[in-house]
Amino acid sequence: MMKNLTEEECEETNCGKPDCYETYWWYFLCSSLGVFISGIVVIALVQVIAQCIANRQEQAADGNRNVKGVMVADPKTATSEESMNWGTEVKDWAAGLISAQTTIGKVLVVAYFLMSMGSYFFYLVDSYKPVEWCFDLKEDRLFQTDLAFNIFFLLYFILRFVANQEKLWCWVSIASIVDFFTIPPIFVSIVLGRTWIGLRFLRALRLMQLSEVLQFLRVLKTSNAIKVTNMLTVFLTVMLTAAGVIHLVENSGDPWENFSNTQDLSYFTCLYVVVVTMSTVGYGDIYAQTTCGRCFMTFFIFGGLAIFASYTPEIIEIISSRNIYGGVYTKEGGKKHIVVCGHITYDSVSNFLKDFLHKDREDVNVEIVIFHTVEPDLELQALFKRYFTQLEFFKGSVLNSLDLDRIKLAEADACIILCDKYCTDSDAEDAANIMRVISIKNCCARIRVIVQLMQYHNKAYLLNIPSWNWQQGDDVICVAELKLGFIAQSCLAPGFSTIMANLFAMRSNSEGSNDLWQTDYLNGCGNEMYTEYLSRSFTGMTFPEVTRLCFDKLKLLLIAVETNVDSETSTIAINPGPHVKIQDQTLGFFIADSALEVKRAFYYCRSCHGDIREVAQIKQCSCDNGTLTFPDLKTNGMSQHQSSNGSSPSNKGQDTNSESDEILLDTTGMFHWTPSRPIHSTVVKREEAAKDPSLNGHVVVCLFGDKDTPKVGLRNFVMPLRASNFHYHELKPIVFIGNLEFISHEWDMLKNFPKVYILNGSPLNRADLRAVNVHLCDMCVILSTNNFSVEDQSLQDKETILASLNIKAMTFDDTVSILQDKTPDFMPSVLPPIPSSPHQPQFARERCGSMVGANVPMITELVNDNNVQFLDQDDDDDPDTELYMTQPYACGTAFAVSVLDSLMSATYFNDNALTLIRTLITGGATPELEQILAEGRGMLGGPASPETIANRDRCRVAQLPLYEGSFATYADGGMYGDLFVEAIKNYGMLCFGLYRFRDNPPTADITETPSAKRYVITNPPYEFVLKSTDLVFCLVHFDGGNQQKTKKKKKRSKRNKEGEKPPPPPQDMMYHHHQHLNPMA
């Protein structure tokens, strides 16, 4: 079959040529070689002539210069320039047509590729015919179609040649050589009336253009896909072209043998030979018989083997890795998914998954897509296998829009960005996460983004993103703001950080324990924060009435509601007082064990559930409770609270008139303010501090760092302690012990806060600790630094642990007597007078000096959770115990930044939770303040105005004792529920937990110094029995009348100057009296 036509076969074609059975292959081959060689000669000759003309024109241009060197116009030169401009325009036009950057260019490139593959397909069909054969142009449709394709190839070659700058290189390129050996022979076929199969297989070389075409069609989008496609096409092109060469020479024979040694092989048989040869298998069943075929196979073995050995492993590796982490996310119907990216490590992901997929969360129908730039290590892979039904991992970059399309970001429910809380450069880490937010928002402006940032001042950059919208759920969790805010609030109410951290983290209270304190603590850990809309039965009631009803009737703790400021905006009011009444569709914030329990507030109906005492029976009823009204529950005690509490509307004007001329607040009215002070004016020496009697009831902050240590954000620690809902005389002095150069880096952010002082020393120096009266402080805070360059993670907390153990080992021989004051600052002024009793003294203890350092109130920040075992040498915690189960954490004496990981999932499930926590923790940081701080001018302030005074009317966290005051009746044997009702009913104080001694005998003498180890109990049940040594966590209102009493004392002092005997000065006035002696004043 694969031979020239016989004379009989030639007669059947009716071609009229008796010699058609002879071969004319050299006609076809010479036409291709002639065009190729003549083209090279012509191009070289034209370039030589053009160079000569250019040289002559340059010489003529030099001769046309006049004496002054001015160019004289030459008509011939102008004509030449016009012709050059015309040629340039033609070249640009041709380049625009074939450029893949234009639509026409893309169409031409795709059409050229498809026609090349079509011409190659025609070659496969003709390969079953003889090497040369006669044909009839009018009847051969296949040849006519191939002729049309080659005419298009010719026109495309002309455009490509015109558009190319280097004509010679364009002529000898691979694409041009393919055209030379395929286009001229088809025109020779028309003249001869016969065709030669020849080198038409070279059209297979255009297959290497496949990746370019697929990129135009947006099929290939990743670098790995493009790389694999290029290698596959090169691999396949080499095999197809080699098979064509073998097919031609074996079916034609050797010319010097008069083509007598031919071998009848089909094209696909030749392709089989090529594959066997490239793979080094070499069966030997089919081999080349011609000399030309054997010579070609000799050289092909080396090249084909090299390509096969290098490309095959790389292709397999890329394809196998792409199947694991480089695919496209397939979204299941009816199931939402979130994207988690940023800092992806085993610790960060495991903490997030542990809380997000907690068993107490009901119906978490959300799939998690972990997205990171590098492949997971073995530890992460094992973690992913445990959650394989709800988690998928994809490799890619958030900054690449193609990668974001692979994970269906536009269809995601939210995107969560984690930060590296242990980074050495927090600003660089925040900048990277902000860039991720920008990329995500550019890809999908409406997606909800929850991002972690390290430093508070970097939050302002998010406001520069146009699509960033707080109202649509976008939120930022500032690690430094919340971490230091938790610790600062613990200075006001020890143990508060543990309560709040447990509220937004999913904890299980099913763990059994033999110790009573662990049972009470774990029962409280089972409480979380939930939101639910209040039933219409509560409409018209005041907040204290609803709170009392929910706690007594529904066994729920309501701490805040969402109130509408106007028709578009709303705010969260924490224990707002009786002037706030519940409206329809009011959102409440509850502390409860589960979301199912909180549904009682939504289902409650006055008519259906009024007589029910079993809370399990409170379910959705069929009646419409929207028309029901609740009877007025106001009592004399509530009226008393409303008339004397600073939160009532009637007292706002009176409070403004009495305080606006003597206090300084910032422009937002949320914080106390003082004019900027240079840092040297606040530095105290060790000798001066040791002699200062005012260092009592203060806060000592131990800092470790030098001039090269990154910032920790001390402003976030000071702000809650300088909130405006404290009176000035209630502010606790803050003394920083540490390197002065380290503190000076952050002084610009602290210079506007009053009562802030610095002792240039070391927290490990006992002389410095004694100088600041650490045994008389209300709280000693030991902060860790951002020094995470150590290789051993267990050594990251070495300074803080050593400082903690050093203080606990100290002893104080100079016993300080108990200070007395008949008007204690921490008791609300609305409480009735304390009755005289031997067991209940009339004075309140401000701070009793500790004989040993172990009893000094202390909270230590840890970087590594496992290091909590080194804080208390007498505890019996197992080293593998989780952080929240350890004694230091349960007692509120240890805090780790890892607890903030749970806040990411809490914010996703409840977008109001972060707002509530931030309001409680930061002391009143507002977006307005963030805008002011973003300008870099620091806090602005001045004398208080009526508008800023009004902002002081908000709740704050307090800790009240039970052994004295009006609550002493519940001290021994009383029930927590009765105390709760009494506090919210008569004083507007909302209780939410207890702080109890861990080892407290029932008959302990309160005059003795008890153990400093207490533990927190969150939201005890109604029947919980109280003890006299318990401290109660509560939310109290700002008392505007307390400051009025202070002003009246000052006015009386002015009258005393005119002749009256002055009374003893208050303690805060004595404090200011030493200003000229000590910078602590």
In three-state form (DSSP H/G/I as H, E/B as E, the rest C), the secondary structure along 23-40 is CCHHHHHHHHHHHHHHHH
User: With contact defined as beta carbons under 8 Å apart, do 203 and 177 qualify?
Assistant: no
Residue 1063 has pLDDT above 50, yes or no: no
Structure token digits, residue 433: 């996460």
Instruction: Count CB atoms within 10 A of the CB of residue 813.
Output: 5
Greatest alpha-carbon pair distance for the chain in Å reads: 149
- pLDDT, position 903: 86
Provide CB contacts within 8 A for 850, sequence distance 6+: 775, 776, 812, 856, 1009, 1012
Distance, CA of 801 to CA of 785 (rounded, Å): 12
- pLDDT, position 656: 34
C-alpha of 945 from chain center: 39
Mean pLDDT of 988-1007: 73
- pLDDT, position 964: 82
- pLDDT, position 635: 32
Residue 497 has pLDDT above 60, yes or no: yes
Place of tokens 């909180």: 598
Question: Sheet harboring 557-564: ordered strands across?
Answer: 528-533, 587-592, 557-564, 570-574
Provide CB contacts within 8 A for 43, sequence distance 6+: 167, 168, 171
For 462-482, write each residue's pLDDT tens digit: 888 889 988 888 999 999 889
Residue 1016 has pLDDT above 90, yes or no: yes
Q: Which residue has the higher pLDDT, 845 or 913?
A: 913
Residue 699 dihedral angles phi and psi, to the nearest 5°: -120, 125
pLDDT confidence bin for 1049, thresholds 50/70/90: very low
- pLDDT, position 943: 86
User: With contact defined as beta carbons under 8 Å apart, do 702 and 739 qualify?
Assistant: no
Q: Where are the alpha helices (DSSP H) in 284-396?
A: 291-325, 346-356, 378-386
Average pLDDT in the chain: 79
- pLDDT, position 566: 57
Structure token digits, residue 345: 């490590």
pLDDT confidence bin for 917, thresholds 50/70/90: confident
Place of tokens 């890892």: 898
Share of the chain above pLDDT 70, in %: 80
User: With contact defined as beta carbons under 8 Å apart, do 461 and 436 qualify?
Assistant: no
User: With contact defined as beta carbons under 8 Å apart, do 242 and 293 qualify?
Assistant: no
- pLDDT, position 404: 92
For 775-811, write each residue's pLDDT tens digit: 899 999 999 876 655 566 677 888 999 999 999 989 8
Mean pLDDT of 68-74: 51
Mean pLDDT of 515-519: 82
Provide CB contacts within 8 A for 234, sequence distance 6+: 208, 307, 311
Distances (CA, A) of 157 to 150, 164, 182, 284: 10, 11, 12, 42
- DSSP lists the bridge partners of residue 1059 as none
Residue 953 dihedral angles phi and psi, to the nearest 5°: -80, 85
For 729-765, write each residue's pLDDT tens digit: 889 999 999 999 999 988 988 999 999 999 999 999 9
- pLDDT, position 294: 86
Residue 841 has pLDDT above 70, yes or no: no
DSSP-derived letter for residue 816 is: P
Mean pLDDT of 222-246: 86
Residue 443 has pLDDT above 60, yes or no: yes
Residue 1045 has pLDDT above 60, yes or no: no
- pLDDT, position 791: 62
Structure token digits, residue 350: 């495991």
- pLDDT, position 753: 93
pLDDT confidence bin for 815, thresholds 50/70/90: very low
**Highest-confidence segment of 282-296, 858-872, 922-936:** 858-872
- pLDDT, position 859: 94
Q: Which residue has the higher pLDDT, 1050 or 495?
A: 495
For 528-571, write each residue's pLDDT tens digit: 888 889 988 898 899 999 999 999 888 899 999 987 755 566 78
Place of tokens 């729920």: 556
Residue 935 has pLDDT above 90, yes or no: no
Residue 77 has pLDDT above 70, yes or no: no
Distance, CA of 887 to CA of 875 (rounded, Å): 7
Residue 62 has pLDDT above 60, yes or no: yes
For 956-977, write each residue's pLDDT tens digit: 999 999 888 878 888 888 899 9
DSSP 626-668: GG--------HHHHHHHHHSTTSHHHHHHHHHHHTTT-EEETT
Residue 168 has pLDDT above 50, yes or no: yes
Residue 415 dihedral angles phi and psi, to the nearest 5°: -125, 125
Instruction: Count CB atoms within 10 A of the CB of residue 1079.
Output: 19
- pLDDT, position 1060: 41
Distance, CA of 339 to CA of 951 (rounded, Å): 39
Distances (CA, A) of 291 to 260, 335, 730, 748: 12, 67, 106, 89
Residue 650 has pLDDT above 50, yes or no: no
Distances (CA, A) of 195 to 18, 23, 151, 185: 16, 10, 17, 8
Q: Which residue has the higher pLDDT, 896 or 1045?
A: 896
Residue 15 has pLDDT above 70, yes or no: no
User: With contact defined as beta carbons under 8 Å apart, do 722 and 923 qualify?
Assistant: yes
Residue 95 has pLDDT above 90, yes or no: no
Mean pLDDT of 150-173: 87
Query: pTM for the whole thing?
Result: 0.70
For 172-212, write each residue's pLDDT tens digit: 888 888 888 889 998 888 888 888 888 888 888 888 888 88
Helix, strand, coil percent content, the chain, rounded in steps of 5: 50, 10, 40
- pLDDT, position 91: 78
The b/e string for 408-446 (b: 16+ C-beta within 10 A; e otherwise) is bbeebebbbbbbbbbbeebeebbebbbebbbbbbebbee
- pLDDT, position 1011: 57
Residue 531 dihedral angles phi and psi, to the nearest 5°: -120, 145
Residue 448 has pLDDT above 90, yes or no: yes
Mean pLDDT of 301-326: 76
- pLDDT, position 323: 60
- DSSP lists the bridge partners of residue 368 as 338, 391
Distances (CA, A) of 735 to 677, 699, 777, 853: 15, 6, 10, 18
Mean pLDDT of 607-616: 76
Q: Which residue has the higher pLDDT, 81 or 963?
A: 963
Instruction: Count CB atoms within 10 A of the CB of residue 707.
Output: 10
